[in-house]
Amino acid sequence: STDNGATWGEVVMVSFRPNRRDGMPVPLVVGNEILVAIEDNKQEQFKPYIVRTSLQNPWSTPVIADVKQRNSALRQSLPDDTYAGAPYIMKLPTGEVLMSYQTTRNRTKDWEKSTMDVAIGDKEGRNFTILDQPFQVPLEREAKWGSIALWDKNTVVATAASNLDGG
């Protein structure tokens, strides 16, 4: 939409991995590119990936499978059996791109018992390094379906749905 959602243009395919699926897309304009964080199950479990296109000529061709416009978001790969899905991205005032996703890293293999990881990338939305798990929940609990937002120029807020209190 170019008019704040009053009308919409044509439907365009952004990305696709044959025999898999690209899920949970979150877009962000960075410089003269549109980045979309997705969960990609190329391997055994979902991992955060970034697909990108030019702001001037967006999605002239879809990002299919392994092309230069699709990159694993994390600089250091997670093990194939570690789940890392439902990514969310935002830009910091300093220009770096921050990403959150739900994961089984350092937890059980049950994705239902995921918690949030937060990672920071460079100003182009590449080379994300894991920073922290903001919600220290017991292994039998979860903190999923999260997002991050800029509260003010120095404060990032992380939110997640959780059963931390047993509910």
pLDDT one-digit tens code per residue, 52-65: 999 999 999 999 99
**Which of 32, 60, 65 lies closest to 49, judged by CA?**
65
What pLDDT is stored for residue 164 in this prediction?
86
pLDDT above 90 covers a percentage of the chain that reads 90
Tokens of 151: 């509260």
- For the full predicted model, state whether its pTM sits above 0.85: yes
Average pLDDT over residues 103-131: 96
Average pLDDT over residues 144-158: 96
**Which of 6, 68, 66, 58 lies closest to 34, judged by CA?**
58
CB distance 141 to 127 below 8 Å: no
One-letter amino acid of 135: F
Distance of CA 162 to the CA centre of its chain: 19
pLDDT one-digit tens code per residue, 5-55: 999 999 999 999 999 989 999 999 999 999 999 999 998 899 999 999 999
d(CA 55, CA 29): 8
d(CA 82, CA 103): 7
